[in-house]
């Protein structure tokens, strides 16, 4: 999946929204005893296009394909915000990161 590095984007005036969600705030990560890490998403302010995602932590390789699929299907921040994520799951952190980029995070 192609992604932009946030530091590179900030060298020019960015029109982006960045959401970040710490795994410390994810119930499943806490229950597993492995809450180090985060999920970060980057969207275009103008179009809502998913520009990239970063995931660091336990079992993130099991979830990153969700963002790859979203990018391929040209999902927007709004369309991803409407997706229902099961609870309790590690994948909820993906949803929370999207909501964070939209200033609508629930659990932080």
56-75 pLDDT per residue, tens: 999 999 999 999 999 999 99
What is the pTM for the complete model shown? 0.86
Give the model confidence (pLDDT) of 27-67 as tens digits. Answer: 999 999 999 999 999 999 999 999 999 999 999 999 999 99
Query: Domains of the chain by range and CATH?
Result: 4-102 (3.30.390.30)
Among all residues, which ones are annotated catalytic? 87
What 55-63 contacts at long range (C-beta under 8 Å, 24+ apart), as own/partner pairs, is 55/94, 57/23, 57/29, 57/90, 57/93, 58/23, 58/29, 58/32, 58/34, 58/90, 59/90, 60/90, 62/90, 63/90, 63/91, 63/94
Place of tokens 């993906």: 94
Check whether 4 has a pLDDT greater than 60: no
């Amino acid at each position: 999946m192609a992604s932009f590095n946030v530091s590179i984007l900030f060298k020019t005036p960015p029109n982006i929204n960045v959401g970040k969600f710490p795994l410390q705030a994810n119930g499943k990560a806490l229950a597993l005893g492995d809450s180090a890490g985060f999920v970060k998403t980057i969207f275009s302010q103008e179009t809502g296009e998913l520009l990239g995602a970063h995931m660091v932590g336990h079992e993130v390789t099991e979830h990153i394909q969700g963002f790859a699929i979203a990018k391929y299907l040209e999902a927007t921040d709004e369309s991803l915000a409407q997706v229902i994520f099961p609870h309790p799951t590690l994948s909820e952190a993906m949803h929370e990161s999207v909501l964070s980029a939209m200033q609508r995070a629930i659990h932080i």
